[in-house]
Amino acid sequence: MIRVGRPERHSISEKWLRGAARPPLLTPVSSMRSFWGLMRAYWLSDRWVEAWTLTLVIALFTALSSKAGVWFAEASGELVNSIAFYHDAANTTPLASLLTNAGMLILLVVLKDAGFTGIRTFVSATLHRKWRGWLDSRFNEALLDTNHTHFHAQHGSSGTAAPDNIDQRVQESIKDMTGGAIGLAMGVMAVATSLYFVGRKLLETSAEVKGLEFLGSYGSAVLAFLAVAIYVPLNTWIAVKLGRLLERLNIRMQQSEGSYRGELTTFLRRSFHVAASQGENVQKTMHDRLYVDIDRTWARLNIVNTSYRSFELVYNFIGARIVAYGPGLVPYIHNRFDLKGYITGSEMVNSLISQCSWFIHVMPSIAALRANSQRVTELANAIENVQHPQEFYSLTGCSDFRYDRQNPVFGLTIQKLELTHQGEDATPFLSAANLRFRRGEWTFLKGESGCGKTSLIKAINGLWPYGRGTIVFPEGVESFYAAQEVKLQQVSLKQLVCLPGSERDYTDTQVASALHRAGLGDFIEHMADESREGMNWDQVLSGGQKQKLVVARIVLQQPGLLFLDEATGALDPEGKIAFHQAIKDNCPDVTVISIMHEAVPPRSLSGAEFYHSIVAIADGVATKKPLAPSLPVELTTILEHPRPVEERWLRFPRRMRQK
């Protein structure tokens, strides 16, 4: 069910079609169409104080954690030294020294991991929650705008496929991307702070190395930096190669998972129809086919992940036990270091390798981050591309609709309308030279199934992409589109009746009156029932009751234009009469354009016609003629012989023009 209020976007499109300058594309996601634009948007938004405060706190505790790593290396050296010299005669308190150094090491571990790292983890999780919430609100606002972007974004253009699984991109991709980005940023901070603190300590404790005397006392530090500079970049190159493969597989996995989840969601919505048609075997075949893609991609992903994990384990062992302890071994052998100095220096090199290897350790996360960010930026680009729908659709076909306004006394006018499918050379499947719908007129659309009745209503409401023509709406008149399938949001009963407006727009008395007039008086008591707040009304209301709910909305909101797209399909003949009678009694001036399965439109219980005219669609042409011979002569003339608005207005009797 869609309420269409003809927003300003149509006049903007009209100006563009007439050659006026296009307005700038400004949407809530305009700055998020590239990777770095997406990454920095939150920090440059109106929530920048919140973003930067949390970021600086994380940076502070990252620095403290890196500094604690230096203290940890020194404490490790002291502990190993107390063990090595436990039986030395000069050591008068061996046990006390051992226990003190062990206690100090444990205290540093608690301070570093439970203190600095723990607080940083909590703050980073808070930043993750805030950033994700902000991004989620931006994309929801961009998708759910008056331009119907959520609808247009699901159509592809020339050379660009429509974004698949938009729900997954907004929910999972944004969540995983923000979490991954924060983790990687903390890794970069850790590298920078470690290079400063650990590097400075290595320089302070450096010693001369035999054969490298020209370096003076910086010999051992230079060897350590050289070992890290060779070992880490070489293995990082290997990690990048594996990471690119992981990125491609992650994107493929997300697409497969999204398609499978989307089909499961659709299946649950049509569960009754599957059961009624005994279509379980067909549905199972569809599920199996979709899961095969998941399984194959998952198998390849497991192979690459296992290979990467094995590479990482070997890399960690060689780095921690060979590369870290190798540079200090030469000066230790030549007695430039004592054991304590050797262990302390080696542990600091190990810490430096560990921190500088963050790129290797998080390469799978980087692959996932790039995959998720690509999914999100693709959605942002799709949103941006459809801000001028007609220009967007013109890339793949003819899209030359013009929307205008006129005095409400003239009603709705359709001129030279042709509807086509995608393709520059597509032949029109429906044409209407001149259709006019007066204020208060009820029109019945008639034609074979598939002739284009629903497409015609969609085009009038700006929801059909391809074709050309002019649609002129009555000024200041709201429209209401009641579709065949009623999907109810999980909100309160009062909010359901008030949609698409807010429940604050109407009083309880007004809503109760609308429910009563629609034949749903038994549900009035549930408007204030807190136990039913936000419940799934799709499972509570029958098909007929859902369509009566449509009547309640119409009665409450009093639209001037009403489009009924098989909106009475779930009602019996008596229910259809009651449906129409409720609208007729409560909306006296509404213009109705209706599609129904029936060959002839229903009549009231007294035998009076609800409808005044019929639009018949045959051989791709829509023509309009009066239904009831008792119509006023002026209206009959207009319906049978439509003329330009100005001419028809002048031909009215003076008394009619005054009205």
Confidence of residue 528 (pLDDT cuts 50, 70, 90): low
Q: Does the pLDDT of residue 82 top 90, yes or no?
A: no
CA–CA separation, 209 vs 519, rounded Å?
Answer: 95
Please report the pLDDT score of residue 401 as a whole number.
92
- What tens digit of pLDDT does each residue of 251-298 get? 888 888 888 888 888 787 677 667 776 778 878 888 888 888 889 988
Provide φ and ψ at 587, rounded to 5°: -130, 75
SS3 state of residue 632: coil
End-to-end CA, the chain: 34
The answer on pLDDT for 475 being more than 60 is: yes
Distance of alpha carbon 407 from alpha carbon 425, whole angstroms: 36
Max mean pLDDT among 201-205, 415-419, 586-590 falls in: 415-419
Instruction: Supply the pLDDT for residue 10.
Output: 38
The arithmetic mean of pLDDT across residues 521-528, rounded, is 77
pLDDT at residue 18 in the model: 37
Q: Which of 42-56, 89-103, 139-153, 614-628 has the highest mean pLDDT?
A: 42-56
Burial of 533 (0-12, 13-18, 19+ CB in 10 A): middle
**Residue 195, pLDDT score:** 75
CA angle 555, 10, 400 (to 5 degrees): 120
Greater model confidence, 154 or 53: 53
Q: Measure the CA–CA gap between 300 and 242, rounded to whole angstroms.
A: 12
| pLDDT: which is higher, 340 or 40 | 40
Kindly state the helix (H) or strand (E) to which residue 505 belongs, with its residue range: none
Listed range (210-214, 534-538, 615-619, 632-636) with the worst mean pLDDT: 632-636
Average pLDDT (626-631) is 63
Q: What is the pLDDT of residue 7?
A: 37
Give the tens place of pLDDT for each residue, 318-359: 877 788 887 877 788 878 777 777 877 777 787 777 767 766
Q: Which structure tokens are listed for 329?
A: 């071994």
For the chain, state the CA radius of gyration: 36
Percent of the chain with pLDDT over 70: 87
Judged by average pLDDT, the poorest of 70-84, 223-237, 346-360, 545-559 is: 346-360
pLDDT at 346: 78
Given a cut of 60, whether residue 17 has pLDDT beyond it is no
Q: Please state, rounded to an integer, the average pLDDT across all residues of the chain.
A: 80
Give the residue from 543, 585, 552 showing the smallest Cα distance to 577.
585
Q: What is the reported pLDDT for 21? A: 40
- Rounded to whole angstroms, how far apart are CA atoms 176 and 372? 7
Tokens read off for 156: 């592809």
Q: Which helix (H) or strand (E) holds 562?
A: strand 561-565
Q: Provide CB contacts within 8 A for 103, sequence distance 6+.
A: none
Q: How confident is the model at residue 645 (pLDDT cuts 50, 70, 90)?
A: very low
Choose between 634 and 347: higher pLDDT: 347
Query: Which DSSP state fits 427?
Result: P
623: confidence class by pLDDT, cuts 50, 70, 90:
very high
If you search the block for the tokens 């008395």, which residue do you land on?
509
Report the percentage of the chain scoring pLDDT > 90. Answer: 18
**Comparing 526 with 518, which gets the higher pLDDT?**
518
Does the pLDDT at position 600 exceed 80? yes
Overall average pLDDT of the 553-572 stretch: 88
Mean pLDDT, range 506-517, rounded to an integer: 89
413 or 241, which is more confident?
413
Q: What is the 3-state secondary structure (H, E, C) of 274-333?
A: HHHCCCHHHHHHHHHHHHHHHHHHHHHHHHHHHHHHHHHHHHHHHHHHHHCCHHHHHHHH
Q: Spell out the SS3 assignment of 564-627.
A: EECCCCCCCHHHHHHHHHHHHHHCCCCEEEEECCCCCCCECCCCCECCCEEEEEECCEEEEEEC
pTM: 0.68
pLDDT score, position 613: 92
Instruction: Please give the pLDDT value at position 96.
Output: 86
How do the domains of the chain map onto residue ranges? Answer: 24-205+364-387, 208-336, 481-559
